[in-house]
Amino acid sequence: MMKKLWTYIFLVSILASCIPEDLPIENIPQAESRLVVSSAIQQNLGVVVTVTRSINALDDATRLDPDDLLAELAVSGADVQFLGNNQSITVQELFPGVYATPVSSLSPNVEYELRVNDAERGQSVSASTEFLRSVPILIVEAVAVKATTDSLAEVTVVFSDLPGEENWYLVSVQPIGESGPLLSDEDVFAHLFTDDDQDGQQITESFIALDFDGYDIGDTILVALSNISKGYYDFLDARENDQTGVEFLYEPYNYPSNVNNGYGYFSLHTLNSRIITVQP
């Protein structure tokens, strides 16, 4: 045992003494702070738009929990408008950084332009997208699957594809803790797929939902199905391929955006959600 210990100490000492100190680097131009918008249609809240500001890479806010993060970066008092279908809709601020309007004020398959003006910062952004038809979940279930050291959840969603058009779909899976789903720090798993050659048919989509802590029988999860645009599909695909942290192994890139003069993604997709329990 001692021999092994001394061998390790010897090897580590040799290696550690030879590893040079990391070199500092300064004067890396930081991204200027801009307005950020993101949006979705929640069944209970209507069209929700978040308006926040971007921060530089060394800002301590990056280490905050989601609820504190939103509060820290929220842009309050901005003028948020939807323009489309010959009307202009003012989106009201619910609480700092979060704006909402009833979904009934929008017409399906109509293109809407979002305009955000932050007079305090003197910044404004705009973005356009189509209000997509909602696709309700017919059946959803999750079954625990034994993996290597943990168990995972195999999620199955059944729904009817919208006929006569090419569709891109998102199914999100989020574990729900004691504090509920909102503003939790749980990671959200996103499964992306298209309707391929199943136009207008009933689609059964099964996939393994990944989570760092795994899923156990009896766990409560939130499953949401959305009919999304190609652009938002590409945005979420970039999220799936993001390998921040191992940049020396792959080439980093910026997520695509449809926001002019800003960041984020403006999407009018409806999240049809169900809360279910993982079954054996």
Partner 1 sequence: MPFATIVLDSTPVATSTQAGTFNFQASPGVHTVSATFIGYEIFSDRFNLQNDTTIRIQLKSSVENLNEFVVVDQANFAKDVIQDNQMSTISLSPREMSMLPTIAGETDVIKVAQLLPGVTKGFEGTNDYFVRGGDADQNLVLLDGATVYNTGHLFGFLSVFNPDILGDVQLTSGGFTADQGGRLSSILDIKTLSGQADSVEVAGSIGIIASRIAYRQPIKKDRLTLSLGGRRTYIDQVLRTINADVQIPYFFYDVNGRLDYQHNEKHNFYFSTYYGADVLDFSRLDESQRGNSDFNSNFNLTNSMQTVGWNFTPNSKQALEATLSRTQYDYTLNSSFEGNSIDLFGAIEDYALRTKWTQFLTQKQKLTFGYDGILHGISPSKFITTGTINDFIPSSQSRGLEAQEHAVFVQYDRPINSLLQLKVGYRQSMGIADGRAYLNPEPRLALRYTLTESSSVKFSYSRMAQYLHRVSSSAVSLPTDIWYSITRDIKPQTADQIALGYTRSFSKIKSYVSVEGYYKYMNNLTEYQEGTNLLLTASFEDQLLQGSGYSYGTEFLFRHESKRFQGWASYTLSWTNRKFDGLNNGREFPAKYDRRHSVSLVGQFDLTERWTFSAIWEFLSGSRFTPIVGNYTILNPSGTGVELVPIYTDRNAVGVSNSHRLDLGLIFKSKPSARFKSEWHFSVYNVYNRATPASIVVRTNPETGNLEYIQPALFGLIPSVAYHFRF
Q: What residues between 241 and 280 interact with partner 1 by CB under 8 A?
A: 241-244, 247-255, 263-265, 271, 273
Of 40 and 203, which has the nearer Cβ to partner 1?
40
224 near partner 1, rule: CB under 8 A: yes
Nearest Cα residue to 260 out of 66, 60, 117: 117
Q: H or E stretch including 194?
A: strand 189-194
35-42/46-53 β-pairing: antiparallel
172: amino acid identity, one letter: S
Q: For the chain, how many residues are written?
A: 280
Q: Does 9 bind partner 1 (CB under 8 A)?
A: no
- The nearer residue to partner 1, 137 or 210, going by C-beta atoms, is 210
* 4 forms part of the interface with partner 1 (CB under 8 A): yes
Nearest to 122 by CA among 50, 30, 35, 37: 35
Q: Which is nearer to partner 1, 41 or 203 (CB)?
A: 41
- Going by C-alpha positions, the residue among 159, 187, 175 that lies closest to residue 275 is 175
Q: Is 62 in the site for partner 1 (CB under 8 A)?
A: yes
Does residue 145 interact with partner 1 by CB under 8 A? Answer: yes
Choice between 88 and 196, CB closer to partner 1: 196
Work out whether 137 is an interface residue with partner 1 (CB under 8 A): no
Please list every residue from 14 through 53 that binds partner 1, using CB under 8 A.
17-26, 28-31, 34, 36, 38-40, 42, 48, 50, 52-53
- Report in angstroms how near the CB of residue 195 gets to partner 1 at its nearest: 19
In the complex with partner 1, which residue's Cβ is closer, 62 or 202? 62
CA–CA gap between residue 81 and residue 61 (Å, rounded): 28
Note whether 2 binds partner 1 by CB under 8 A. no
**Residue 84 is encoded by which pair of tokens?**
């489309």
User: Which 75-134 residues touch partner 1, going by CB under 8 A?
Assistant: none
Which residue among 69, 162, 275, 276 contacts partner 1 (CB under 8 A)? 69
Place of tokens 């695909």: 237
Fill in the amino acid letter for 143. V
Distance CA 52, CA 74 (A): 4
Nearer to partner 1, 63 or 120 (CB): 63
By beta-carbon proximity to partner 1, the closer residue of 40 and 132 is 40
CB of 27 to partner 1, least distance (A): 9
Those residues with Cβ within 8 angstroms of residue 244's Cβ, 6 or more apart along the chain or in another chain = 252
Task: State the nearest-atom distance from the C-beta of 200 to partner 1, in Å.
Answer: 25
Beta carbon of residue 105, minimum distance to partner 1 (angstroms, whole number): 18
Interaction mask 162-181, partner 1, x per CB under 8 A: --------x-xxx------x
| Calpha distance 26→257 (Å, rounded) | 29
- Cα separation, 166 vs 194, whole angstroms: 8
Distances (CA, A) of 213 to 174, 182, 188, 191: 12, 19, 12, 18
Q: Binding partner 1 by CB under 8 A: which of 237, 260, 274, 275?
A: 237
